[in-house]
């Protein structure tokens, strides 16, 4: 009976069809076009080339590549879980984007009873999707597709609510999403995996390994992420010099972390050889580390140093911290998201706070109050009129000092970590419900449980890994049980 619960023939279609009906109803009742996509607002005075699609769509396509190809290939590093890594990424990403358009739309794009949708909504939804996929990395191979969909269903509203609270009330600067994307995703995922702790996996698993081809596929995902990360960090920054700096800083940070990763990988290996997990993950650390200050005047040298610092922290985390967390803290972080997104995210936040404290008009000129909008003068301040003459369209600010803005950044870090960890823990308890088809320990990291697989899919394991007789017997027994049950269900059908 326990094995039978992993069958998805009824559960998965029912879940997906029910929510598709719900989505259609919500889209029909509450979603409309924004001004840039609505034909009623176009006339002979409208220049089509000024449409927002031309400035937003290139960033959207770049982030699409990161979401579906970058994350998909990167998560396919397990020898027998390539289908699961790529296909479940595809499934959860699509569901997450549809759901995030509605949830974020309510918080950010709701007006006169309607959610107004344009390409900018899709970009925001893909950021929410990236949050889900980062969290997915913590439980990779240990969850069913149904559990992942429920995780999306719960995580997106928690993220959208946290994002709204932080941006509306704390009003922070976080252009690259170090706080609201990387830290949130990391600690939500750790909260989930803490609750879903499996003592049987603490000493490793017979299928928890890679192959030559799965590692190559994973590195392809890394390259997709690496190439398009500047778009990810700069998509929502102010157009012009801010966006220009964001692209430069991201590329410099990534380059620095890549070179540092190769150096550290060889140095920390007793045989002086490169380790594929370092190339697949640690090389990306610089993209996260520059995130909180990516649009600020931090200097190219600082971006380079941040890339090196993030890489070093990430490398040491994989080598020493991840085993400690699994052994002592009941946190089995499958993809090491705490190293790539947590540790580097904290470094990024600290760098952002330092950059805010040092920001003044000598460095930025009048544009200081465009980048740090909450430091702009309040209504009635004589300086406001003076600045608006220099920068037409400058909005009212809150009159914050650099120190006050830095303190709000600190508050945002702690509140985001707290809310995300709490949300992850509560979500973990929901995912433990027996109906959600959680795989047993011995069937984790194996595509055969949820996919039709070719006969030779496990050939590399048979050739290159020597199982004990007991392990081999157990695995074979489980496969026979699954096959017999599938045959019985087919006959009944």
The average pLDDT across 61-82 equals 96
The average pLDDT across 413-433 equals 97
Q: According to the model, what pLDDT value does residue 41 have? A: 86
**Secondary structure of residue 466 in the 3-state scheme:** coil
- For the segment 278-294, what is each residue's pLDDT rounded down to a tens digit? 999 999 999 999 999 99
Half-sphere exposure of 325 (CA within 13 A, CB side): 21
Q: Determine, yes or no, domain membership for 336.
A: yes
Q: According to the model, what pLDDT value does residue 50 have? A: 87
Q: According to the model, what pLDDT value does residue 46 have? A: 79
Q: Determine, yes or no, domain membership for 385.
A: no
Q: According to the model, what pLDDT value does residue 394 have? A: 86
Q: Dihedral, CA atoms, 370, 177, 65, 444, nearest 10 degrees?
A: -170
The average pLDDT across 388-399 equals 87
The average pLDDT across 45-61 equals 90
Burial readout 417-429 (b: 16 or more C-beta within 10 A, e: otherwise): bebbbebbbebbe
Q: Determine, yes or no, domain membership for 161.
A: yes
Q: Please answer whether residues 84 and 120 qualify as being in contact, where contact means their C-beta atoms are separated by less than 8 angstroms.
A: no
Q: Report residue 469's pLDDT band, with 50, 70 and 90 as the boundaries.
A: very low
Total domains, the chain? 1
Q: According to the model, what pLDDT value does residue 49 have? A: 86
Q: According to the model, what pLDDT value does residue 47 have? A: 85
Half-sphere exposure of 128 (CA within 13 A, CB side): 32
Please say if the pLDDT value at position 4 is more than 50.
Answer: no
Half-sphere exposure of 297 (CA within 13 A, CB side): 15
Q: According to the model, what pLDDT value does residue 215 have? A: 95
pTM of the prediction? 0.91
Domain of 78: which CATH number? 1.10.3430.10
CA distances from 33 to 63, 276, 293 (A): 22, 46, 33
Percent of the residues in the chain that have a pLDDT greater than 70, as a whole number:
92
Q: According to the model, what pLDDT value does residue 459 have? A: 74
Q: Report residue 467's pLDDT band, with 50, 70 and 90 as the boundaries.
A: very low
Q: According to the model, what pLDDT value does residue 203 have? A: 78
- For the segment 157-174, what is each residue's pLDDT rounded down to a tens digit? 999 999 999 999 999 999
Please say if the pLDDT value at position 473 is more than 60.
Answer: no
Q: Determine, yes or no, domain membership for 365.
A: no
CA distances from 228 to 56, 66, 74, 119, 224 (A): 15, 7, 14, 18, 6
Which helix (H) or strand (E) is 117 found in, with range? strand 114-117
The average pLDDT across 248-259 equals 98
Q: Determine, yes or no, domain membership for 331.
A: yes
Please say if the pLDDT value at position 275 is more than 80.
Answer: yes
Please say if the pLDDT value at position 311 is more than 70.
Answer: yes
Q: CA gyration radius for the chain?
A: 24
Please say if the pLDDT value at position 257 is more than 50.
Answer: yes
Q: Determine, yes or no, domain membership for 464.
A: no
Residue with tokens 């003076």: 386
Please say if the pLDDT value at position 485 is more than 90.
Answer: no
- For the segment 174-232, what is each residue's pLDDT rounded down to a tens digit? 999 999 999 999 999 999 999 999 988 887 888 988 999 999 999 999 999 999 999 99
Q: Determine, yes or no, domain membership for 70.
A: yes
Please say if the pLDDT value at position 489 is more than 80.
Answer: no
Q: Please answer whether residues 185 and 131 qualify as being in contact, where contact means their C-beta atoms are separated by less than 8 angstroms.
A: yes
Please say if the pLDDT value at position 64 is more than 60.
Answer: yes
Q: Report residue 460's pLDDT band, with 50, 70 and 90 as the boundaries.
A: low
- Average pLDDT score over the chain: 91
**More confidently predicted of 466 and 385:** 385
- For the segment 11-31, what is each residue's pLDDT rounded down to a tens digit? 999 999 999 999 999 999 999
Q: According to the model, what pLDDT value does residue 477 have? A: 55
Q: Determine, yes or no, domain membership for 455.
A: no
The average pLDDT across 49-74 equals 95
Domain containing 225: what range?
A: 4-358+401-443
Q: According to the model, what pLDDT value does residue 1 have? A: 36
């Amino acid at each position: 009976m326990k094995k039978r619960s992993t069958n998805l023939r009824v559960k998965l279609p029912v879940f997906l069809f029910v929510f598709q009906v719900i989505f259609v109803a919500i889209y029909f009742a509450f979603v409309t076009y924004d001004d840039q996509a609505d034909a009623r607002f176009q006339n002979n005075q409208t220049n089509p080339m000024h449409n927002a699609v031309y400035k937003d769509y290139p960033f959207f396509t770049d982030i699409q590549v990161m979401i579906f190809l970058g994350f998909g290939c990167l998560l396919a590093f397990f020898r027998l879980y390539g289908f699961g890594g790529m296909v479940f990424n595809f499934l959860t990403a699509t569901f997450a984007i549809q759901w995030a358009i509605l949830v974020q739309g309510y918080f950010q794009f709701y007006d006169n009873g309607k959610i107004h949708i344009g390409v900018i909504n899709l970009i925001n939804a893909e950021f929410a999707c990236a949050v889900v996929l980062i969290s997915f990395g913590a439980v990779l191979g240990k969850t069913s597709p149904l559990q992942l969909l429920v995780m999306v269903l719960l995580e997106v509203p928690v993220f959208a609510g946290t994002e709204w609270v932080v941006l509306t009330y704390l009003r922070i600067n976080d252009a690259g999403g170090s706080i609201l994307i990387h830290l949130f995703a990391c600690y939500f995922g750790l909260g989930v995996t803490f609750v879903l702790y499996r003592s049987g996996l603490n000493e490793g698993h017979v299928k928890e390994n890679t192959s030559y081809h799965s590692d190559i596929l994973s590195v392809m995902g890394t390259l997709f992420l690496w190439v398009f990360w500047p778009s990810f960090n700069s998509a929502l920054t102010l157009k012009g010099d801010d966006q220009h700096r964001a692209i430069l800083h991201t590329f410099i940070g990534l380059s620095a972390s890549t070179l540092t990763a190769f150096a550290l990988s060889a140095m920390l290996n007793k045989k002086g050889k490169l380790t594929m997990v370092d190339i697949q993950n640690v090389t990306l650390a610089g993209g996260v580390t520059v995130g909180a200050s990516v649009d600020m005047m931090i200097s190219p040298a600082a971006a380079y140093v941040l890339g090196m610092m993030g890489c070093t922290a990430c490398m040491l985390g994989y080598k020493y911290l991840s085993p400690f967390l699994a052994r002592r803290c009941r946190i089995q972080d499958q993809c090491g998201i705490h190293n790539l997104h947590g540790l580097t995210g904290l470094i990024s936040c600290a760098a952002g706070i330092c950059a805010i404290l040092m920001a003044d008009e000598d460095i930025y000129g009048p544009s200081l109050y465009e980048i740090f909008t909450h430091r702009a003068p309040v209504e009635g301040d004589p300086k406001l009129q003076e600045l608006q003459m220099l920068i037409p369209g400058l909005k009212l600010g809150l009159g914050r000092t650099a120190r006050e803005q830095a303190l709000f950044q600190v508050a945002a870090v702690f509140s985001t970590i707290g809310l995300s960890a709490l949300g992850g823990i509560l979500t973990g308890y929901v995912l433990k419900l027996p109906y959600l088809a959680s795989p047993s320990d011995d069937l984790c990291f194996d595509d055969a449980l949820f996919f039709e697989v070719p006969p030779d899919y496990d050939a590399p394991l048979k050739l290159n890994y020597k199982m004990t007789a007991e392990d081999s017997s157990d695995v074979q027994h489980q496969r026979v049980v699954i096959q017999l049950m599938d045959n019985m269900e087919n006959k009944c059908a």
